[in-house]
């Protein structure tokens, strides 16, 4: 039985996801409605243009056919007698045609013919004979051998009075001797346009319904496995033992399996870290006791051999204690998600502190530490971490350098970055170990003692630098034996 508190947490998580899911559907419906409206509005506003295009195409055919009926007399003037007779007979015919919403009782075309100068020589209305139409686009372009068409409003303020004019050339052999224009008022197709719009509007609910249903199905198909995975993640984060959900063969399943793999790795890492921390804490007390006992026995011992053995025990106990301290420090920094104790310090102060720490051990091996810095630069960092990282790098350089060697620490500033570069004169790093030196517990034998270190110093340095969003690398020198360890930190904004 699930405890009441867990039930409340689970219910809260379900409500939270339900609210999120409802919000998602609201957004979907809004986007779907806006998209549907845009499409339908575009279709409705475009219907008239499509009908007018069809009308223009048919009028163009009519113009071409009629132009072929017009002959040319010996003077080069179009002979319109045959054309006039045909049009007159056509107008006298009574029609009874019902074309969808359009009822036609007669021919609604008007025709005029011009000579090669653009002067009207025939007009089916009888009103415009003798006028100069050479400036009208339909006549002007046609007489030039181009496609001639125009649209003119009888009343400039009333778009319903717009008339379409389409012209075709009249030929005498290969020469253009005139033009024939067919005109038709655009409003005659309005009943057809209204019928088309009415049909489109009647189809809107069906189209919108299908779109919404399809969208809901697709949305549900996507969100359902996401909801199951989300609930699973919430249960895991609340400490429940929940089996991995069935997500089908979807991308969500791939994402869920990746999360599950990450969770198992993190749990394993947390277990190991917790175990190591507990173990190191437990070891500190007996080691401290061993060291204290050795100190007391060494003070009272008179046997040189016993004293030597006790010194060795004390030294190893101190070494084990140092490993434990380093391991605890590394575990703490690995568990840090972000920097917390930031402070603004200058590189000069940082170098001074590091030099004071390293000077005694450098003197023991007669090693000279050369510090080269262009100028003091402000850094916003955790002092302890950066000081500890830099001293670990210098300790590593010291251990692999011979007596009387020179270790150089250079500081360079470039592109708002502060570069720290440590060069030593040691034995260098074997090729097989170059990509392992930053791993925990990996260490190489020291040249002077043949013994290995804890293998935690460079690992700590790497974690500290990465936590400061910097980068670190180590490589062998090319000019001589030795290594170069370099890392950079971002300079503070006050750097100009």
**What's the rounded Cα separation, in Å, for the pair 473 and 486?**
6
Q: How confident is the model at residue 120 (pLDDT cuts 50, 70, 90)?
A: very high
Beta partners for 114?
120, 179
Q: Please check whether residue 18 lies inside any domain of the structure.
A: no
What pLDDT, on a 0 to 100 scale, did the predictor assign at position 14? 46
**What's the rounded Cα separation, in Å, for the pair 133 and 140?**
8
Q: How confident is the model at residue 80 (pLDDT cuts 50, 70, 90)?
A: confident
Q: Domain ends where: 311, 333, 355?
A: 333
Give the chain's radius of gyration (CA, Å).
Answer: 47
Mean pLDDT on 11-37: 57
**What's the rounded Cα separation, in Å, for the pair 351 and 364?**
20
Residue ranges of the alpha helices (H) in 238-250? none
Residue 468, number of CB atoms within 10 A of its CB: 21
Q: Are residues 301 and 408 in the same domain?
A: no
Q: Are residues 317 and 369 in the same domain?
A: no
How would DSSP label each residue in 323-365? Answer: HHHHHHHHHHHHT--S--S-EEEEHHHHHHHHHHHHHHHHHHT
Greatest mean pLDDT range, 36-50, 79-93, 128-142, 291-305? 128-142
Residue 204, number of CB atoms within 10 A of its CB: 15
Among 116-125, 152-161, 340-349, 483-492, the least confident range: 152-161
Please give the helix or strand (H or E) that residue 183 lies within, else none.
Answer: strand 175-185
- Per-residue pLDDT reduced to its tens digit, 351-396: 898 888 888 888 888 999 888 887 888 888 888 888 888 988 998 8
Q: Are residues 275 and 183 in the same domain?
A: no
Domain holding 162: CATH number? 3.30.450.20
Q: Are residues 312 and 364 in the same domain?
A: no
Q: Please check whether residue 205 lies inside any domain of the structure.
A: no
Report the candidate in 330, 329, 308, 327 with the shortest Cα–Cα distance to residue 319: 327
What pLDDT, on a 0 to 100 scale, did the predictor assign at position 122? 92
Asked whether the predicted pLDDT for residue 423 surpasses 70, the reply is yes
**What's the rounded Cα separation, in Å, for the pair 281 and 328?**
8
What pLDDT, on a 0 to 100 scale, did the predictor assign at position 10? 44
Mean pLDDT on 453-457: 75
Strand ordering across the sheet containing 110-115: 120-123, 110-115, 175-185, 162-172, 148-153
CA atoms within 13 A on the CB side of 353: 15
Q: Are residues 348 and 484 in the same domain?
A: yes
Antiparallel, parallel or unpaired: β 406-414 and 368-373: parallel
Tokens of 138: 């339909």
List of long-range contacts for 441-449, beta carbons under 8 Å, 24+ apart: 444/400, 446/399, 446/400, 447/400, 447/402, 448/399, 448/402
Q: Which domain holds residue 403?
A: 339-490
Q: Please check whether residue 165 lies inside any domain of the structure.
A: yes
Tokens of 177: 């001797």
Percent share of the chain, pLDDT over 90: 14
Asked whether the predicted pLDDT for residue 286 surpasses 70, the reply is no
40: three-class secondary structure by DSSP: helix
- Per-residue pLDDT reduced to its tens digit, 224-258: 777 777 777 777 667 666 677 776 766 767 777 77
Q: Domain ends where: 285, 307, 333?
A: 333
Domains of the chain: total: 3
Q: Are residues 479 and 356 in the same domain?
A: yes
Q: Please check whether residue 24 lies inside any domain of the structure.
A: no
Give φ, ψ of 108 to 5 degrees. -115, 30
**What's the rounded Cα separation, in Å, for the pair 274 and 179?**
98
Among 69-83, 286-300, 370-384, 418-432, the least confident range: 286-300
- Please give the distance of CA 146 from its chain centroid, rounded to a whole number: 51
Q: Are 417 and 491 in contact (CB under 8 A)?
A: yes
* CB crowding 347-372: b at 16 or more within 10 Å, else e: beebbebbeeebeeebeeeebebeee
Report the candidate in 451, 154, 118, 438 with the shortest Cα–Cα distance to residue 316: 451
Tokens of 300: 């009272």
Give φ, ψ of 292 to 5 degrees. -65, -40
Residue 8, number of CB atoms within 10 A of its CB: 11
Domain holding 262: CATH number? 1.10.287
Q: Please check whether residue 199 lies inside any domain of the structure.
A: no
**What's the rounded Cα separation, in Å, for the pair 356 and 365?**
16
Q: Are residues 140 and 159 in the same domain?
A: yes
Q: Are residues 314 and 356 in the same domain?
A: no
Q: Please check whether residue 234 lies inside any domain of the structure.
A: no
Question: What DSSP designation does 402 have?
Answer: P
Q: Are 100 and 112 in contact (CB under 8 A)?
A: no
Q: Are residues 268 and 355 in the same domain?
A: no
Greatest mean pLDDT range, 139-153, 193-207, 335-349? 139-153
**What's the rounded Cα separation, in Å, for the pair 56 and 373?**
83
Q: Are residues 289 and 355 in the same domain?
A: no
Q: Are residues 302 and 370 in the same domain?
A: no
**What's the rounded Cα separation, in Å, for the pair 495 and 378?**
7
Give φ, ψ of 137 to 5 degrees. -60, -40
Q: Domain ends where: 293, 312, 333?
A: 333
Report the candidate in 79, 88, 139, 133 with the shortest Cα–Cα distance to residue 109: 88
What pLDDT, on a 0 to 100 scale, did the predictor assign at position 318? 65
Q: Please check whether residue 444 lies inside any domain of the structure.
A: yes
Asked whether the predicted pLDDT for residue 39 surpasses 90, the reply is no
3-state percent helix, strand, coil for the chain, nearest multiple of 5: 55, 20, 25
**What's the rounded Cα separation, in Å, for the pair 19 and 99?**
54
What pLDDT, on a 0 to 100 scale, did the predictor assign at position 17? 43
């Amino acid at each position: 039985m699930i405890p009441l508190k867990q039930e409340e947490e689970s219910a809260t998580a379900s409500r939270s996801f339900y609210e999120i899911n409802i919000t998602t559907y609201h957004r979907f419906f809004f986007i779907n409605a806006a998209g549907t409206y845009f499409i339908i509005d575009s279709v409705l506003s475009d219907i008239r243009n499509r009908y007018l295009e069809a009308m223009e195409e048919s009028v163009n055919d009519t113009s071409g056919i009629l132009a072929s009926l017009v002959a040319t007399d010996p003077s080069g003037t179009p002979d319109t007698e045959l054309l006039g007779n045909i049009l007159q007979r056509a107008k006298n015919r009574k029609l009874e045609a019902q074309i969808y919403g359009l009822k036609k009782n007669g021919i609604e075309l008007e025709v005029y013919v011009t000579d090669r100068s653009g002067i009207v020589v025939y007009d089916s209305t009888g009103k415009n004979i003798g006028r100069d139409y050479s400036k009208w686009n339909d006549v002007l372009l046609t007489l030039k051998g181009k496609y001639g068409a125009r649209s003119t409003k009888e009343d400039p303020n009333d778009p319903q009075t717009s008339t379409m004019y389409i012209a075709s050339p009249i030929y005498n052999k290969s020469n253009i001797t005139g033009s024939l224009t067919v005109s038709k008022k655009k409003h005659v197709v309005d009943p057809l346009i209204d019928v088309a719009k009415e049909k489109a509007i009647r189809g809107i609910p069906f189209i919108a319904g299908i779109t919404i249903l399809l969208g809901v199905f697709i949305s549900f198909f996507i969100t359902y496995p996401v909801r199951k995975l989300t609930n699973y993640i919430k249960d895991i984060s609340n400490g429940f033992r929940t089996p991995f959900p069935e997500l089908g063969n979807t991308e969500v399943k791939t994402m869920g399996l990746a999360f599950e793999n990450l969770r198992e790795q993190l749990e394993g890492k947390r277990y190991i870290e917790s175990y190591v921390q507990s173990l190191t804490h437990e070891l500190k007390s007996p080691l401290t006791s061993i060291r204290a006992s050795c100190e007391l026995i060494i003070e009272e011992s008179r046997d040189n051999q016993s004293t030597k053995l006790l010194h060795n025990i004390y030294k190893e106990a101190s070494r084990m204690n140092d490993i434990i301290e380093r391991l605890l420090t590394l575990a703490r920094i690995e568990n840090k998600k972000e920097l917390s104790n930031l402070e603004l310090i200058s590189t000069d102060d940082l170098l001074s502190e590091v030099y004071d720490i390293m000077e005694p051990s450098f003197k023991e091996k007669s090693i000279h530490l050369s510090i080269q810095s262009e100028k003091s630069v402000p850094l916003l960092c955790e002092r302890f971490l950066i000081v500890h990282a830099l001293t670990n790098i210098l300790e590593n350089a010291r251990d692999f350098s011979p007596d009387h060697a020179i270790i150089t620490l250079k500081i360079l500033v470039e592109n708002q970055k502060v570069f720290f570069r440590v060069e030593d004169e040691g034995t260098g790093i074997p090729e097989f170990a170059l990509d392992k030196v930053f791993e925990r517990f990996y260490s190489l034998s020291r040249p002077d003692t043949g013994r290995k270190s804890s293998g935690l110093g460079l690992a700590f340095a790497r974690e500290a630098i990465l936590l400061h969003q910097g980068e670190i690398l180590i490589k062998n020198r090319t000019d001589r034996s030795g290594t170069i360890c370099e890392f950079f930190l971002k300079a503070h904004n006050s750097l100009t």
